[in-house]
Amino acid sequence: MKTYEKVIEKVILLCAVAATLSVALITVFIFQSGLPVMADYGVFDFIAGTTWKPTNGQYGIFPLIAGTLSVTLGALAIGIPTGIACAVFLAEILPPKPARLFKSAIELLAGIPSVVYGFFGLVVLVPAIRNYILPVFQIFDPDITTTGFSILAGAVILAIMILPTIVSMSENAIAAVPAEYKEASLALGANKRETITKVLIPAAKSGIISSVILGMGRAIGETMAVLLITGNMAVIPGSVLDSVATLTGTIAMEMSYASPTHQQALFAVGIVLFVIIMLLNLTAQLTVKRLGGEGK
Q: Which of residues 183-202 bind another protein (CB under 8 A)?
A: 191-193, 197
The CB-of-62 to another protein minimum distance in angstroms stands at: 19
User: Contact at 8 Å (CB) between 232 and 249?
Assistant: yes
Render 93-104 in DSSP notation, one character per residue.
IS-HHHHHHHHH
> Pattern of binders to another protein over 41-80, x per CB under 8 A?
----------------------------------------
CA distances to 76, 121, 180, 190, 233 from 217, in Å:
11, 21, 34, 37, 22
The CB-of-267 to another protein minimum distance in angstroms stands at: 6
Q: Does 127 sit near another protein (CB under 8 A)?
A: no
User: Contact at 8 Å (CB) between 147 and 131?
Assistant: no
> Pattern of binders to another protein over 73-112, x per CB under 8 A?
--------xx--xx-xxx--x--------x-xxxxxx-xx
Q: Which of 213, 247, 215 is nearest to 230 (CA)?
A: 247
Q: Does 172 sit near another protein (CB under 8 A)?
A: no
For 33-109, list the strands marked E by DSSP.
52-53, 58-59
Q: Does 33 sit near another protein (CB under 8 A)?
A: yes
Of 217 and 237, the one with the shorter C-beta distance to another protein is 217
Tell me how far apart the alpha carbons of residues 228 and 286 are, in angstroms, rounded to a whole number: 34
CA distances to 38, 230, 240 from 292, in Å:
39, 37, 37
User: Contact at 8 Å (CB) between 203 and 165?
Assistant: no
**3-state SS, residue 231:** strand
> Pattern of binders to another protein over 201-230, x per CB under 8 A?
-------------x--x--xxxxx--xx--
Q: Which stretch binds another protein (CB under 8 A): 64-72, 136-144, 160-168, 233-241?
A: 160-168
The CB-of-203 to another protein minimum distance in angstroms stands at: 18
With CB under 8 A as the contact rule, the residue among 3, 19, 142, 296 that binds another protein is: 19
With CB under 8 A as the contact rule, the residue among 118, 231, 237, 295 that binds another protein is: 118
